[in-house]
Amino acid sequence: MSRLFLGRGLETEADAYIDGGKSRAILVCGKRGSGKSYTLGVIAEELHRAADATILIVDPMGIYHTMSLSNHEQESVLWDWGDSPRGLPVKVLVPGDPVERYGGADIVAEMERRGVEFRSLALNPSDVSAESWCDSFGTSINEPMGISLAKATRRCRQEYGARGYFIREIIDEVLKDPRAHDRTIDALVNRLEMANQWGIFAADRYRELAEILDPDSVNVLDLSVIDSGRYGRRGLIVSVLSRDLFRKRSIARRREELGLAPERRKFWMLIDEAHQFVPSGRSALGKEELIRWVKEGRQPGLSLVVASQQPSAIDGEVLSQCDVIISHALTTSDDKTALNRLTKDYMRNEIKTYIDQLARTGQAVFVDDDTERLEVVQIRPRASRPGGGEA
Ligand SMILES: Nc1ncnc2c1ncn2[C@@H]1O[C@H](COP(=O)(O)OP(=O)(O)OP(=O)(O)O)[C@@H](O)[C@H]1O
Ligand SMILES: [Mg+2]
Name the residue ranges covered by the structural domains of the chain: 3-121+212-379, 139-197
Architecture of domain 3-121+212-379: 3-Layer(aba) Sandwich (3.40)
Residue 326 C-alpha to ligand 1 middle, in angstroms? Answer: 14
Say yes or no: CB of residue 60 within 6 Å of ligand 1.
no
Residue nearest to atom 23 of ligand 1 (CA): 33
Say yes or no: CB of residue 386 within 6 Å of ligand 1.
yes
Question: pLDDT per position in the chain (391 positions), as tens?
Answer: 689 999 999 999 999 999 999 999 999 999 999 999 999 999 999 999 999 999 999 999 999 999 999 999 999 999 999 999 999 999 999 988 899 999 999 999 999 999 999 999 999 999 999 999 999 998 999 999 999 999 999 999 999 988 899 999 999 999 999 998 999 999 999 999 999 998 899 999 888 888 899 999 999 999 999 987 666 899 999 999 999 999 989 988 888 889 887 667 899 999 999 999 999 999 999 999 999 999 999 999 999 999 999 999 999 999 999 999 999 999 999 999 999 999 999 998 999 999 999 989 999 999 999 999 999 999 999 999 999 876 6
Instruction: Specify the ligand 1 atom closest to the Cα of 362.
Output: 1
Instruction: Specify the ligand 1 atom closest to the Cα of 389.
Output: 29
Say yes or no: CB of residue 199 within 6 Å of ligand 1.
no
Q: Which ligand is nearest to the CA of 385?
A: 1
The one-letter code for the residue type at 85 is P
Say yes or no: CB of residue 35 within 6 Å of ligand 1.
yes
**In a mutational test of the pocket of ligand 1, which residue from 38, 46, 63 has the highest number of ligand atoms less than 8 Å from its CB?**
38
pLDDT at 390 (0 to 100): 65
Measured in degrees and rounded to the nearest 5, phi and psi for residue 269 equal -115, 130
**In a mutational test of the pocket of ligand 1, which residue from 37, 39, 384 has the highest number of ligand atoms less than 8 Å from its CB?**
37
Could you give the CA distance from residue 209 to residue 355 in angstroms, rounded to a whole number?
A: 40
Is 361 in contact with 345 (CB distance < 8 Å)?
no
Three-state secondary structure of the chain: CCEEEEEEECCCCCEEEEECCCCCEEEEECCCCCCHHHHHHHHHHHHHHHCCEEEEEEECCCCHHHHHCECHHHHHHHHHCCCCCCCCCEEEEEECCHHHHHCCHHHHHHHHHCCEEEEEECECHHHCCHHHHHHHCCCCCCCHHHHHHHHHHHHHHHHHHHHCCCHHHHHHHHHHCCCCCHHHHHHHHHHHHHHHHCCCECCCCCCCHHHHCCCCCEEEEECCCCCCCHHHHHHHHHHHHHHHHHHHHHHHHHHHHCCCCCCCCEEEEEECCHHHCCECCCCCCCHHHHHHHHHHCCCCCEEEEEEECCHHHECHHHHHHCCEEEECCCCCHHHHHHHHCCCCCCCCCCHHHHHCCCCCCCEEEEEECCCCEEEEEEECCCCECCCCCCC
Say yes or no: CB of residue 362 within 6 Å of ligand 1.
yes
pLDDT at 191 (0 to 100): 95
Could you give the CA distance from residue 35 to residue 359 in angstroms, rounded to a whole number?
A: 13
Residue 275 C-alpha to ligand 1 middle, in angstroms? Answer: 18
Q: Which ligand is nearest to the CA of 81?
A: 1
pTM: 0.96
Measured in degrees and rounded to the nearest 5, phi and psi for residue 141 equal -65, -15
Residue nearest to atom 11 of ligand 1 (CA): 35
Say yes or no: CB of residue 388 within 6 Å of ligand 1.
yes
Residue 386 C-alpha to ligand 1 middle, in angstroms? Answer: 8
Residue nearest to atom 15 of ligand 1 (CA): 35
Say yes or no: CB of residue 391 within 6 Å of ligand 1.
no
**In a mutational test of the pocket of ligand 1, which residue from 332, 361, 376, 390 has the highest number of ligand atoms less than 8 Å from its CB?**
361
Is 111 in contact with 92 (CB distance < 8 Å)?
yes
pLDDT at 321 (0 to 100): 96
pLDDT at 259 (0 to 100): 87
Listed in sequence order, the residues at least 6 apart from 246 whose beta carbon sits closer than 8 Å to its beta carbon are 289, 292, 293, 297, 300, 302
Say yes or no: CB of residue 32 within 6 Å of ligand 1.
yes
Residue nearest to atom 2 of ligand 1 (CA): 362
Q: Residue 79: in which H helix or E strand, if any? A: helix 75-80
User: Other CB atoms closer than 10 Å to residue 388's CB: what's the count?
Assistant: 16
Say yes or no: CB of residue 30 within 6 Å of ligand 1.
yes
Residue 9 C-alpha to ligand 1 middle, in angstroms? Answer: 19
CA 344 from centroid of its chain's CA atoms: 27
Is 279 in contact with 315 (CB distance < 8 Å)?
yes
pLDDT at 288 (0 to 100): 94
Length of the chain equals 391
